[in-house]
């Protein structure tokens, strides 16, 4: 019975890994994966509630600070995209991780019952660790948000958080009963830095989209916007309430520009984006992918050797099939980089 369970678990485990690898580049086709489609209804309801909450806060603001209905709809849509991608990633993680643990435990138990001399217990532990390691390696490689999607939700999400944080007045001095170490302006400074980072990260993504032709004008605009936000962050740190008011108006303007669909007014383009372009490299993605494939192949081959020595040819064949499948996916010609 143990043999049947371990074989079934190993087969399902490899199937789950294969599905994760095959759907890793779904964002390049601007489509939703199966796991993302599963979470759309719940994400839509939560995005609606969060959008209504933001609308209530905005309605009480001065006209110069109030977000337009178009901007509110834009933030709600981006919030929905963020939840769908992150929750969909979680849906892929749970069953694959459970199958990995089950497969590792069952195969380790079978190895522990084989005759491998004094190394039997150690090799059984290696089987469990190797299965878990291979599972986590695939999940980390295939579950990176924005892997190939041309999306702005990290920027809009950070802009939304910064806007909501800046709506709160920054007190000059904390009450003597408050023994927290955090300065009152720290949340605003942190959220502005996150916004600047996401703007800069988007610029770097567009610097070499899919390792091909750089989009220099996009890099110049979003890189300059990141610099402006960091200037606002410094002003909040130095001037607190005065800096907060200026930052609030500027963040609100950026949200409106992003919602308009024409980002040319986001910031005055920087003259020389070379310093920003130096932070990325055309081969970075291929290097990471090569390291992933090499690690997976090395650990899986050692695992197959141990299983063969333990007289478990069927699980060893499954592991070898996983390696071959990975290399087929790696060498498969495609029109885009996943």
Quick one: average pLDDT of 221-248?
A: 91
Task: Please tell me the predicted confidence (pLDDT) of residue 77.
Answer: 93
pLDDT of 28 higher than 60:
no
**CA gyration radius, the chain:** 25
pLDDT tier, 49 (very low <50, low <70, confident <90, very high otherwise): very high
Report yes or no on whether pTM surpasses 0.85. no
Other residues' Cβ atoms within 10 Å of the Cβ of residue 320: 16
DSSP tag of 292: H
Task: Please tell me the predicted confidence (pLDDT) of residue 92.
Answer: 83
Lowest mean pLDDT among 63-67, 199-203, 287-291: 287-291
Task: Please tell me the predicted confidence (pLDDT) of residue 262.
Answer: 85
Quick one: average pLDDT of 309-314?
A: 82
**Tokens 């002003």 belong to residue:** 235
Cα distance between residue 201 and residue 161, in whole Å:
17
Cα distance between residue 25 and residue 338, in whole Å:
4
Query: Model confidence over 321-338: pLDDT tens digits?
Result: 888 877 876 665 444 433
Quick one: average pLDDT of 222-229?
A: 92
Most confident of 17-21, 53-57, 224-228: 224-228
Using alpha carbons only, what angle is made at residue 8 by residues 308 and 96, rounded to the nearest 5 degrees? Answer: 100
**Tokens 């380790």 belong to residue:** 108
Q: Which of 53, 77, 57 is nearest to 67 (CA)?
A: 57
Higher pLDDT, 287 or 81: 81
pLDDT tier, 66 (very low <50, low <70, confident <90, very high otherwise): confident
Most confident of 12-26, 64-78, 258-272: 64-78
pLDDT of 172 higher than 60:
yes
Residues constituting the chain: 338
Quick one: average pLDDT of 276-284?
A: 56
If you average pLDDT over every residue of the chain, what do you get? Answer: 82
DSSP structure string for 199-248: HHHHHHHHHSGGGSS--HHHHHHHHHHHHHHHHHHHHHHHHTHHHHHHHH
Lowest mean pLDDT among 73-77, 204-208, 285-289: 285-289
Lowest mean pLDDT among 11-25, 47-61, 197-211: 11-25
């Amino acid at each position: 019975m143990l043999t049947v369970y371990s074989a079934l678990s190993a087969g399902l485990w490899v199937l789950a890994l294969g599905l994760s690898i095959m759907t890793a580049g779904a964002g390049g086709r601007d489509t939703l994966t199966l796991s993302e489609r599963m979470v759309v209804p719940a994400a839509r309801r939560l995005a609606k509630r969060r959008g209504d909450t933001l609308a209530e806060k905005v309605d009480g603001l001065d006209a110069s600070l109030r977000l337009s209905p178009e901007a509110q709809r834009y933030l709600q849509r981006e919030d929905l995209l963020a939840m769908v991608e992150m929750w969909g990633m979680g849906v892929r993680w749970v069953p694959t991780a459970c199958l990995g643990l089950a497969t590792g435990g069952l195969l380790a138990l079978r190895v522990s019952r084989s005759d491998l001399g004094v190394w039997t217990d150690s090799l059984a532990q290696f089987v469990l660790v190797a299965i878990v390691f291979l599972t986590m390696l695939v999940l980390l490689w295939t579950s990176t948000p924005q892997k190939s999607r041309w999306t702005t939700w990290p920027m809009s999400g950070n802009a939304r958080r910064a806007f909501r944080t800046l709506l709160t007045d920054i007190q000059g001095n904390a009450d003597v009963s408050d023994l927290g170490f955090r300065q009152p302006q720290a949340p605003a400074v942190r959220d502005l830095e996150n916004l600047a980072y996401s703007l800069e990260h988007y610029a770097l993504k567009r610097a070499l989209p899919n390792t091909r032709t750089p989009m220099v004008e996009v890099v110049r605009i979003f890189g300059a916007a990141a610099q402006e936000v960091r200037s606002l962050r410094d002003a909040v740190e130095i001037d607190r309430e005065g800096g907060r008011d200026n930052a609030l108006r500027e963040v609100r303007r950026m949200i409106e520009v992003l919602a308009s669909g024409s980002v040319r007014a986001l910031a005055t383009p920087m003259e020389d984006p070379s310093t920003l372009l130096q932070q990325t490299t055309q081969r970075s993605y291929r290097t990471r992918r090569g390291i992933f494939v090499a690690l997976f192949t090395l650990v899986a081959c050692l695992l197959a050797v141990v299983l063969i020595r333990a007289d478990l040819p069927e699980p060893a064949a499954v592991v070898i099939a996983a390696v071959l499948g990975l290399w087929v996916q790696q060498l498969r010609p495609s029109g885009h980089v996943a």
